[in-house]
Chain A
């Protein structure tokens, strides 16, 4: 299993540009998450999904959109990029909804908006 994969690893955007961060998992997990990690801070939840076709906002959703057309893929869309979106983005997935289930993380995408 490849686990959770993310592309690209790095990206530089100009202010106002748009892009999609890709995330895929091959573990047949229903639950998927997008987090952002700012320097010296823990991770903050952007959006999550409990299955194909179902998404919901997390703590910091403004400026982002998601879709979940398949179990495997959970792309994150940035529209009109702003410097405040400079961060490292992590995708994660989880098998079940019990509180003991761990989340599996991808390697991250480092995004700089200038």
Chain B
């Protein structure tokens, strides 16, 4: 079945460090790929998305490129801030009448000043 695998956390970085969170997927079709972020005590918010191969999603300095050849959607940011501390979830979705998201386990990021 379809699945999403994320790098294990927690990840601890100093402010202004470069961030990469790896995400790979297994899919039988051609899903869209998403990164959601969950700040402490809150629900999930969409961070960025890509709907087809080679698309790049970007938002708030974060980027991820949909790589069909490596089945990956790695999240990157050039310079993290303390306010980026959160749990990040990679997910895929086929749409359709069911259209539920299939999530990775999440990666907790802590950014120290």
**Taking beta carbons and an 8 Å cutoff, which residues of A are in contact with B?**
4, 31, 33, 40-43, 45, 48, 50, 56, 58, 90, 92, 94, 97-108
Task: Judge whether B31 and A56 touch: CB under 8 Å.
Answer: no
Tell whether, in the assembled complex, residue B100 and residue A97 are in contact, meaning their CB atoms are under 8 Å apart. no
Interface residues of B in 57-113 (CB under 8 A from A): 89, 91, 93-106
Chain A residue at minimal CB-CB distance from B48 = A102
CA distance A104 to B101 in the complex (A): 11
Among B42, B46, B93, which residue has its beta carbon within 8 angstroms of that of A107?
B42
B67 to chain A, nearest CB (A): 17
Chain B proximity of A95: nearest CB distance (Å)? 11
Number of interface residues of B (CB under 8 A): 29
Q: B residues within 8 Å of A by Cβ?
A: 4, 31-32, 34, 36, 41-46, 49, 51, 89, 91, 93-106
Which A residue sits closest to B46, measured CB to CB? A102
Which A residues touch B42, using CB under 8 A? Answer: 107-108
Query: How many Cβ-Cβ contacts under 8 Å join chain A to chain B?
Result: 67
By a CB distance below 8 angstroms, the chain B residues around A41 are 105-106
Query: A42-B91, A43-B101 given. 15 additional CB < 8 A pairs?
Result: A4-B43, A31-B99, A40-B106, A45-B100, A48-B99, A56-B98, A90-B44, A97-B95, A99-B51, A99-B93, A99-B94, A100-B49, A101-B99, A106-B43, A107-B41
Contact A94 B46 (CB under 8 A): no
B43 touches A102 (CB 8 A): no
- Chain A residue contacts of B106, Cβ below 8 A: 40-42
- Give the residues in chain B near A97, CB-CB below 8 Å: 95-97, 99
Residues of B within 8 A of A98 (CB): 95
The CB with the most chain A CB atoms within 10 A, among B36, B41, B51, B99, is that of B99
